[in-house]
């Protein structure tokens, strides 16, 4: 699936109309994504994220939630602190 709109970091809309909010720690992985970038959507097991978007060309992946949902601030802080 291709990218329809990408705001350079925080959200991405795919050609099917789905919109995804990118995990704060993963936004730099999307900076090179272009409209021609082919993306796969997969479900993931994660405390906060429900899915991942995977760039078919290089295998890079970002964790996401639906763009209609806001990040639960406490959970994000806890998860980011644990990864340090």
Q: Does the structure show a pLDDT above 90 at 77?
A: no
10-69 tens-digit pLDDT: 899 999 999 999 988 888 888 888 888 999 999 999 888 999 999 999 999 999 999 999
Listed by start position, the domains of the chain span 3-82
pLDDT at 10: 86
Q: How far is CA 26 from CA 10, 16, 54, 60, 69, in A?
A: 9, 22, 12, 10, 17
- At 72 the pLDDT is 85
For the segment 5-10, the average pLDDT, to the nearest whole number, is 74
């Amino acid at each position: 699936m291709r990218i329809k709109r990408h705001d350079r970091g925080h959200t991405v809309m795919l050609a099917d109309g789905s919109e995804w909010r990118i995990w704060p720690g993963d936004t730099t992985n999307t900076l090179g994504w272009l409209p021609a970038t082919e993306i796969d959507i997969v479900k993931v097991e994660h405390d906060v994220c429900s899915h991942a978007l995977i760039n078919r060309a290089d295998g890079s992946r970002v964790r996401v939630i639906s763009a209609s949902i806001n990040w639960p601030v406490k959970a994000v802080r806890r998860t980011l602190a644990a990864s340090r």
